[in-house]
Structure 1
């Protein structure tokens, strides 16, 4: 199948899932969230129910409800809404894929099963083929995130198999630091989209030829990263390096504190003024109220706030 719709270019925000203090999904926040991304961060593509959205900690029904809300409020604001439908259960993944199609999603994506892992690359492709077939009218993107799934097949080889066996295959969300594998994919499979997913290495991916990127920091550093994209496009490598280095220093500050996804969710709340709520168990934030001013001070010091 040849898709003739718009290609994804630029930044894609991997959205957080807003929750109440009781860790229930907080649907009324989503409209304001979409408006914030479009109007404040100039980000017009979203990837929902993925890692940042705690998708694997949500029920199938919660994921369907969130998909409906994201799509409803993204009309006229977002260019693309890609829905992550990956599950441990193939039946659940197919159910979510069909639902995303019925709601008007612009694409679907799925990770590899990560508990009972595929026994070889061909088994993985067979699994993904069934998921993609449940929404055959939508572009399908494989979500490659080996550090979390433990499924570490080289994408350069895997893309060839998916191209051959999955008619709706459109590309990859490539969340790995292996820029050699990434570059090989870009240059071998030029008609496909290979969206880069490691925010702190985006400039390296741009040098390899990247045209699109999916990441969590684009929720609140989208406007900053867009300046880096603009500088790179204009040939101002020094400016692009400066911006990438600033983002790296902020992320290093966060990582050195021992923080992860729950704290990034808190930072999004601080940055945007939209209450994202807590992360769902088994994740738990260690960002206490006394840390908030530290985070704000660091963002201001780096000219990111």
Structure 2
């Protein structure tokens, strides 16, 4: 699946749309034949003050010392102990990405360890990918740093070498404390490349910036002329859905989560930014989805989830993703760059070949060993396991696409869900999506009103019920607080404006 690359400069930015599937490749770094190891081995050697393990015949403790350059969709870096970028490997990597059906590359992003590269390395990497990509991929170049001056420098360079689009996330050390500040910061960055389409990159669990992305788009629309959308890598899918509702003719939302591919498709988000080895899997899923073969599409989503589950069991980090790439692709992307550390070779390979029972036993062993040392990580893993069993109202359509057919929802949403389910059963995804958007619209109103009054939002939900049903469920009980008359009137205005309950 190839798409002709267009020179979009000097065209209306509204015309710019990414098509197909975007790869987030690793940065290729040279490997000097050693890897930092967390345990001693009888053939240990000391170098540069670290305990290092050489490759042993019959037992692969580390990667081979020669560099078989390869990578990933989120352009990962093939690292060396000296962490020099291996530009010789880009052409071979590009061939692999073509075989995985990718149409765009998201260069120097999170999987590429972009923030561990110097500005000069990032420029060189961008130039190398632009050269290799000609006629094969579009290039979206990530230029985010922790200060807007450096990002402006990267933006100017990006426009000079002719990338298709640029992207930038919020700074993660000194964080913007309000939406206005974030818009001002991103505006300064985007203005350095005024003729290049610009995506805001939301990845809040990395940056620590938890602001309303939909409102960011609303505020930024008039202040950032080249803003064309956002890459949504945060874990809250409803946020991505809210962003889709902000001027969909102008703004495009791309999803950056491997476990949300099918649910994103069901919401109309058609372009993912994913790891290098998942391109063919997504292409198969999208083909089935377009044929309305939901059973087959769900099969591929389950495969993506299984891959993500294995990754989570080994820490879920970029180091694990890179190790997985090396195993499944047959290539060698090299190690990660400090401060990230590599897995011991053999660890992940053994895990991939374990039975479920063996993996359970291994997990139980690690729980015993990890007491007091990794308790927080263990708790997080347990929570991530339980979270999917509690479905919020705005996840109804996405749940249907995964075969979860029974929602527990607010009183006033029964008819809406019935309409959605009827359309879904008829494979009328356009109509089903319309009702999902109505659910999202209600949730947005609930969030907006809820921001003005302390509480869990149950108070707002009850007020919505009183308005739309014509009944009176009365107030909420302390410690919850009730809406003021002014807020109730605002709520009624917003609900009437939707036309959902007419």
Hey, what does 1:7 align to over in structure 2? 17
Hey, what does 1:148 align to over in structure 2? 206
Alpha-carbon distance in structure 1 between the residues aligned to 2:133 and 2:205? 31
Secondary structure at the counterpart of residue 272 of structure 2: strand
Gaps of at least 5 residues in structure 2 are: 1-10, 32-80, 356-502
Secondary structure at the counterpart of residue 83 of structure 1: strand
Alpha-carbon distance in structure 1 between the residues aligned to 2:88 and 2:277? 19
| Corresponding residue pairs, total | 294
Match of 2:294 among 230, 233, 237: 237
Secondary structure at the counterpart of residue 50 of structure 1: coil
Alpha-carbon distance in structure 1 between the residues aligned to 2:291 and 2:344? 39
Alpha-carbon distance in structure 2 between the residues aligned to 1:183 and 1:5? 21
Change (3 A) 1:97 1:253: same
Quick check: 1:29 aligned with 2:86? no
In the TM superposition, 1:47-196 aligns within 5 A as 47-78=106-137, 80-191=138-249, 192-196=251-255
Hey, what does 2:261 align to over in structure 1? 202
Quick check: 1:17 aligned with 2:27? yes
1:272 Cα deviation from its structure 2 partner = 2.5
Does the 8 Å CA contact 2:217/2:246 hold for their aligned counterparts? no
Does the 8 Å CA contact 1:263/1:287 hold for their aligned counterparts? no
Secondary structure at the counterpart of residue 105 of structure 2: strand
Alpha-carbon distance in structure 2 between the residues aligned to 1:296 and 1:43? 28
Alpha-carbon distance in structure 2 between the residues aligned to 1:43 and 1:287? 30
Secondary structure at the counterpart of residue 142 of structure 1: strand
Alpha-carbon distance in structure 2 between the residues aligned to 1:9 and 1:267? 26
Alpha-carbon distance in structure 2 between the residues aligned to 1:45 and 1:202? 17
Q: Which moved more, 1:23-32 or 1:262-271?
A: 262-271
1:271 Cα deviation from its structure 2 partner = 2.5
Hey, what does 1:255 align to over in structure 2? 312
Alpha-carbon distance in structure 2 between the residues aligned to 1:278 and 1:156? 37
Quick check: 1:272 aligned with 2:329? yes
Larger radius of gyration between Structure 1 and Structure 2 = 2
Secondary structure at the counterpart of residue 188 of structure 1: coil
1:132 Cα deviation from its structure 2 partner = 0.7
Change (3 A) 1:72 1:120: same
Change (3 A) 1:295 1:28: farther
Does the 8 Å CA contact 1:15/1:53 hold for their aligned counterparts? yes
Superposition CA RMSD, Å:
1.7
1:138 Cα deviation from its structure 2 partner = 0.5
* Structure possessing the higher relative contact order (Cα contacts under 8 Å, 6 or more residues apart): 1
Change (3 A) 1:236 1:35: same
1:287 Cα deviation from its structure 2 partner = 4.0
Secondary structure at the counterpart of residue 173 of structure 2: coil
1:263 Cα deviation from its structure 2 partner = 1.9
Alpha-carbon distance in structure 2 between the residues aligned to 1:297 and 1:189? 48
Per-residue Cα deviation, 1:107-161 (whole angstroms, up to 9, x for no partner): 0000101100012111111111111111111000000000000111111111111
Runs of 4+ in structure 1 displaced over 3 angstroms? 293-298
